[in-house]
Amino acid sequence: MKQNFTQKQTHKQTLNLSLSMKKSLDILSAPQEKLYQQIKVIADKNPYISYTPSIDMDLYMNEALSHKVTLSEELYLQLHVCKEKYDKHIAEYIIESLDENGFFTLSISESSKHLNVSVPEFKNTLKVIQSFEPIGVAAKDSFDSIILQLQYQNLDDCVDIFQNYSEYLIKNDLKSIAKKKGYSIEEIQSYIEDIRLCNPFPCEQYITRKVENIIPDLIVNIEDNNLVLSTNELGNIILDESLNEENIKNKVLKTYFKEALFFIDSLSKRNKTLLLLANELFQIQKSYFLFHDELQTCTLAMIAKNTGFHESTVSRTLSNKYYSFQNEVFPIKNLFVSSTTSGDSKDSIVKAVHDFIKNEDPSNPLRDIDLVDKLNEIGLSASRRTIAKYRMQLRIPNSKDRIKK
């Protein structure tokens, strides 16, 4: 076969981050706790920078907001004294993969492939973890967690009713369950009471990870019916200006001087960018703070478009940042609200649904389709399925179960 070699020129745009650019981006994206550590390191080694913290930061950083034992610590402690046969590698994988509710939601088959173990091996170790306190840990979801708790108590009839008659349980149709099971209504009521004693979220007493003190990046105040934002300064950073780059002869000292200038300049740019982007975000959500209105639809793309920054810069600047308002600290990310397919704010719809149900006639509660009409009357749009989803997230039963005669 004859081979032909040809040359072809192509144009390709690439962006290579210099070391200084990377450092600048690190400062921009760093939360206050990490920024404090960076300032300390540079101030300790750089002769041209002096740093005076605004408070005793070391003491503040070392104070834990919570002394609760984490869920993983509790499980590792039980694993250490466990006499059942288990695979240590699998057990650690399961514990570290639990979500914020203590559930193991990953695929067992995919997890087995990832660890290069058989499915039966994985299930065996999972079963061991599920036997630990609190009973119901490492379940797939809250439904599965309740089943584990009932099985632990050897309540087989309760398991059967909960698993196979959930449709009747939702409708509170005890007669049909009693008829199918061949039990009396009183016996079924007793089983249901046992089911109700189970906790769908048994790990709520534990924190999922160690909580550290959070230093807010922004301070938000209300002055004359306006929001006033300011950066939360970590202290005074002073550059020794008795010298300048021209009269520093030593190369090492000149490098330190340039580093000091760069770091202080990057800190200034960080605060300016943070304030500019945050001001845009907080103006959009102004009514939420002033009048307790619902949050408006707001996305990273909207902030980027309104300020002229790239969306990645907005994300890097506002991610993992917090603000202080009325002596409480909140993540800035909570102010971003996606819209529904109709373009309405999810927060608006959820709040409206909650208010409608709160003020409904108890003897004739609103159906989901009625809530759709109610929303339309106030200029909001959502499908019946969306209403049902939000209602479940609010843990509000359906209209039949809300009837009070």
4-21 pLDDT, tens digit each: 544 445 444 444 445 666
Residue 65 has pLDDT above 50, yes or no: no
- Average pLDDT of the segment spanning 371-385: 81
Mean pLDDT of 206-224: 76
What average pLDDT does the structure give for the chain?
83
Q: Quick one: pLDDT band at residue 280, thresholds 50, 70, 90?
A: very high
Does the predicted TM-score (pTM) go above 0.85?
no
| Distance, CA of 23 to CA of 268 (rounded, Å) | 14
- Pairs from 155-164 (Cβ < 8 Å, separation ≥ 24): 155/191, 155/194, 157/181, 157/183, 157/191, 158/191, 158/194, 158/195, 161/188, 161/191, 161/192, 161/195, 162/195
| Cα gap 311→304, rounded to integer Å | 5
Q: Which residue has the higher pLDDT, 21 or 188?
A: 188
The pLDDT value recorded for residue 17 is: 46
pLDDT, tens digit (0-9, with 9 covering 90-100), for 242-263: 766 666 778 888 888 888 889 9
What the chain holds in terms of domains, given with CATH numbers, is 71-196 (no CATH), 346-402 (1.10.10.60)
Tell which residue, 199, 202, 193, has the closest CA to residue 158. 193
Tell me how many degrees the CA angle 36-41-47 measures, rounded to the nearest 5.
120
User: Cα-Cα-Cα-Cα dihedral of 135, 139, 141, 145, to 10°?
Assistant: -30
DSSP 159-194: HHHHHH-HHHHHHT-HHHHHHHHT--HHHHHHHHHH
Residues 6+ apart with CB under 8 A from 91: 79, 125, 128, 129
DSSP state of 238: E
| Average pLDDT estimate for 26-33 | 86
Task: Give pLDDT, residue 327.
Answer: 86
Question: Given pLDDT bands bounded at 50, 70 and 90, which one contains residue 339?
Answer: low
Written as six digits, the tokens of 300 are 């990273």
Please write the tens of the pLDDT for every residue from 102-131: 999 999 998 999 889 999 999 999 999 999
Residue 211 or residue 303, greater confidence? 303
Percent over 70 (pLDDT), the chain? 85
Q: Please check whether residue 345 is in contact with residue 295, taking contact to mean a CB–CB distance below 8 angstroms.
A: yes
The beta-strand segments (E) located in 117-275 are 218-223, 226-231, 235-239
Tokens of 90: 């699998």
What does DSSP assign to residue 107? -
Give the residue-averaged pLDDT of 376-400.
78
Largest CA distance in the chain: 97
Task: State how far the Cα of 134 lies from the Cα of 130, in Å rounded to an integer.
Answer: 9
φ/ψ (deg, to 5) at 207:
-90, 145
